[in-house]
Structures are given as structure tokens and as C-alpha cells.
Amino acid sequence: MPVARGGSGDSIEPTHTAKGPEFEKTKMAQQPLLSLPEFQNVSTGTLVVKEPLNFWGGARVKPKDTTKSEPVYEPATGRVLCDLVPCGEEEVDAAIKSAHSAYLKWSKLSGMERARIMLEAARIIRERRDEIARAEVANNGKSITEAQVDIDISWQTIEYYAGIAPTLSGQHIQLPGGSFAYTRREPLGVCVGIGAWNYPFQLAIWKSAPAMACGNAMVYKPSPMTPVTAVILAEIYKEAGVPDGLFNVVQGGAETGELLCHHPMVAKVSFTGSVPTGKKVMEMAAKGVKQVTLELGGKSPLIIFKDCELENAIKGALMANFLTQGQVCCNGTRVFVQREILPQFLEAVVKRTKAITVGDPLCEKTRMGALITKPQMEKVLGFINQAKEQGAKVLCGGERFVPSDPKLKDGYFLSPCVLDNCRDDMTCVKEEIFGPVMSVLPFDTEEEVLQRANNTTFGLASGVFTRDIARAHRVAENLQAGTCYINNYNISPVEVPFGGYKMSGIGRENGQVTIEYYSQLKTVVVEMGDVEDYF
């Protein structure tokens, strides 16, 4: 029986002070923040989210035009989880203005002061990790154990950038005659974050934490398919003590995203999503000469040499393909296996794939939950059918899976799939499927496999399994990708930069380097003598 949670429908207080139109704020904003403990009791098929999902000026904001409302479904059950009402021009403008006024305060704090507040946000997330993870599962469909890891990566990311904030500094440069110059690392202003649906909470933090560490404000738009957890993050930042307006959430799809990209007060857009949308974002940003970070798609190669430690290579191949139901941008979905070990590899990988527990994502033992939407599930099934038509052999999975629990009968579950007899010219090998489908391709030599691995317009990630240390580093050097995993796959600690080569993106997230993508350098030149008498 579905249970409505929160959303008392309590009256609202139209006291919004941001310049521009006034919007209704829910009473929640004046109460102790967060209804998170409610998520503790959530089981699959029970959550209904009624509270407003927009947030600016330090409070949740009711949407203006509810006639454009669209249902958002719980992936595990196919039930309506909440309604998504896209923000229009006035709402986007209000959020951006609210961000700008917070930026004026936040950017004047020292790095230490910013760090203190960010560390408090990290602490709150850590404390509420399980409730946030449950909300993420209800909205995204991934397994609870994976969602918990996502939340751990999230607070670690905030801690990491809080640690960097006080270290931001410039350079002192001596000039002739006692004159000198110095540089200042300054924020950009209002940054926009636009996220994908596969890591909703984590992506909001991958963008906001480095942005805030550098002194920027952010307006974040989550994917319209996963609107629930970004607003929880906004509340946590507020509770931690950031100025009202520093982190804002506007809901919506393409239209809302375009309004954000075109807004003249926006200095930078950090986008995660598909290549076609990334191109549009770059075009829009170019019109205003705004900086962009683009984290786009991939079709990454994983190369397994015959001298590998086979058990690790098999586990690595599963990690490279089946996290988050295969909906991971950096997945190593082209698995090149040296011909001599192909039979052993296939036998073991199929055995392990068949043993993956698919089902209720809130069960601790589940290792694969539901795909994000019905259309996405059908798209993946379409890729599998096309692969069969083109000559691939399905060794396991690749079908709709209906768990025995009746409440999950309309969920978007697929059995994880291994495809053999693949060739480089097949659609399943060339295009990003974004589902639990591994394509296995035999190879003979290092030279050949490198050429084939690089024969793609993508370049997000790559991997190699071998015991030969020289070969490992040679292969890593020659793979055209932003990341190469040696003897593992899909581990991404925050200290390590993440981003793509070629059409997989521009810029990096995570690591120290990301500071450069959220700040700009000012040079101050100081004359200690007289100005030259030249004219």
C-alpha cells in the first residue's frame, strides 16, 4: 500500500526576498531542516514525495506552473514517485539572482572559513548516509549497497575540497627595481551544474564542492528523472551554514537547462550527460563566452591479456560493466580478451554474471536493481536484439526480468547480459548502450588491440589486466582515454582527476586540477619606482 510521506500541504509564506518575482516557500523551510528520518522507514514501493523540489534563497520553493507537471517513476516498481514541474524563465532568473547575492558574501570569506562550513556539510551527510542512500535508491533504482558507496564518495568529496580551500593561493613574482607582481586565484561567480540521472547526489557534489571551495555559488539542475536528492543536499548545505542562495536547485529538462546556459549572470556551466546534449551546452556557453566542463559518454575498452591474474580480470570485467545496472559513463563495455584465454574467461564470466542477484534494490543482498525508466529498458533490449541480428551470441541474460515479489512486477529489471561473437563494426560495440550488456571481443596482439581500442570517437576511460608491468604502462600510455585502470576498474577516489579525451569531454572533475576549472587567475603588477618617461 503506497504511503504518502511528508508533504503535509501546509500553508506557505511568500516572503522571498530575492530580486524579481516572489515565489512561495514551504513551511518546511522555517522548521528544523530535513524530513530525512522518514527515508529510514522507506521500503520499495512506499515513497511518495510531495514536498517542493526547487530550492533557492535558502528554502524549498513551490513550482509556478504546475500545468507542465510530468510524473517521475520509481524504477523498481513503475509507480509514480513524484511530479516534476519544470522551472521557467522567472524561476531560473530568481535562482540565479539568489546565487549571485550569496556569491558576493561567500567569495569574501577566507578559505578556512569556507572549509569549516563545508566540513560541517560533510559531517551531516556522513551522519545521514543511510537515509540519503535510501532516497537515492527509490529514485534511481540502484542497489542500496552501491548507493551507500555513492554517498560515502559524496561526503569524502566535500571533505577533500574543504581541505583544499585554505590552500588556494597565488604566486609572487619579482620584477626589476624592486617592483613585483602577484597572482590571485579568484572565483568565477555563479556556476551552473547540470547533472545526469545515474549518480544524482554524487554528481551534484562533484560539481558543487570544488565550486564552493573556490568561492563560487551554484545553481544546479538535476536530471528530470532523478529530482529527489539534490534538494536534500541544498538543505544540508544550509544547515551547515552556507549563505542562503549559495547552492540552489531548479528542476526541469532541456528547456530549463537552456535557460540556465543562456543566462547572462552565469559564468560557467559544468555539464554531465550525453555527447549530443554536451555539444548543445558548449554552443550555448560559447555565445556568452562562458567556461564549460563537459563530462560526456563513453564506450571504453577493457583489455585482458593472457598473462593476467584471471580471477581478478573476471571481477574487473564485472565491475566494468554491471555497476548501476550498466548505466555508468566510464564502463569498459568493449572487453577485449586475448584469444588463448577466451574460453576460460567466457566460462567464468558467464557463471559469475548468472549469479548476480537482481531484484529489490533496497535488499542488502541485491547486487543489481532496476534501470532508470521503461524507455531506457526498452532501448537496451533493442540494442541486444540488434546485436543478435548482427551475429552476436547471447551467452546469458539480456531479457526482461520479473522478480517474484509482486510489488516489483512492473519494475524496469533486466538480466545482465554477456555477448560473444562480437565484431568491431557491430552497433553494440560502437555505441554507448547504458545498460547491463558486456560485449566480448577476441584479440591476438598488443599492437592490434591498441589500434582497435582507440578506434572510437569516445575516450572517457580504459583498462588493462596483465602481470607484465612494462606492458601495463605501455598500454596505458597508448590508450586514448582520460583514465586507464591497471588491474582494476571503475574505482574513482576523489583525489584522482576524472574526465574524457576526444568526444567524451572537456575539463576534469575531482583531484586538485579541478580547482583550475572553477577559478580564474588575476595578475596584479606593482610598480615600486617611477613610470618610464617614454612619450
Ligand X SMILES: NC(=O)c1ccc[n+]([C@@H]2O[C@H](COP(=O)([O-])OP(=O)(O)OC[C@H]3O[C@@H](n4cnc5c(N)ncnc54)[C@H](O)[C@@H]3O)[C@@H](O)[C@H]2O)c1
Rank residues 149 and 173 by Cβ distance to ligand X and give the closer one.
149
Rank residues 252 and 463 by Cβ distance to ligand 2ZO and give the closer one.
463
- Residues with a catalytic annotation lie at 295
Contact partner at residue 258 from ligand X, ligand 2ZO, none, CB < 5 to 8 Å by partner kind: ligand X
Q: How far is the CB of 331 from ligand 2ZO (least distance, A)?
A: 8
Rank residues 318 and 328 by Cβ distance to ligand 2ZO and give the closer one.
328
Rg of the chain (C-alpha set): 24
Rank residues 29 and 96 by Cβ distance to ligand X and give the closer one.
96
Q: What is the DSSP letter of 340?
A: G
The grid coordinates listed for 490 are: 571503475
Cα-Cα-Cα-Cα dihedral sign, residues 98, 104, 109, 111: positive
Q: How far is the CB of 19 from ligand 2ZO (least distance, A)?
A: 36
Task: Select the residue whose beta carbon is closest to ligand X and give its number.
Answer: 257
Q: How far is the CB of 532 from ligand X (least distance, A)?
A: 50
Residue 471's H or E segment, with its range, is helix 469-478
Q: How far is the CB of 492 from ligand 2ZO (least distance, A)?
A: 4
User: Binding string to ligand 2ZO for residues 323 to 352, with x set by CB under 6 A, is what?
Assistant: x----xxx----------------------
Distance separating alpha carbons of residues 337 and 224, to the nearest angstrom: 38
Residues 95-154 within binding reach of ligand 2ZO (CB under 6 A): none
Q: How far is the CB of 299 from ligand 2ZO (least distance, A)?
A: 13
Outline where 302-373 has alpha helix (H): 310-322, 342-354
Residue showing cell 596584479: 524
The beta-carbon contacts of 520-525 under 8 Å, at least 24 apart in sequence, are: 520/185, 520/186, 520/187, 520/188, 521/170, 521/183, 521/184, 521/185, 521/186, 522/170, 522/183, 522/184, 522/186, 523/181, 523/182, 523/183, 524/181, 524/182, 524/183, 524/184, 525/175, 525/179, 525/181
Residue showing cell 576534469: 508
Distance separating alpha carbons of residues 357 and 415, to the nearest angstrom: 9
Rank residues 245 and 482 by Cβ distance to ligand 2ZO and give the closer one.
482
Distance separating alpha carbons of residues 88 and 108, to the nearest angstrom: 31
Q: How far is the CB of 461 from ligand 2ZO (least distance, A)?
A: 8
Rank residues 84 and 99 by Cβ distance to ligand X and give the closer one.
84
Does the footprint of ligand 2ZO cover residue 199 (CB under 6 A)?
yes
Contact partner at residue 170 from ligand X, ligand 2ZO, none, CB < 5 to 8 Å by partner kind: none
Site residues for ligand X per CB under 6 A: 194-198, 221, 223-224, 253-254, 257-258, 261, 272-274, 277, 280-281, 295-298, 329, 432, 434, 460, 505
Summarize as ranges the residues that interact with ligand 2ZO (CB under 6 A). 198-199, 323, 328-330, 490, 492
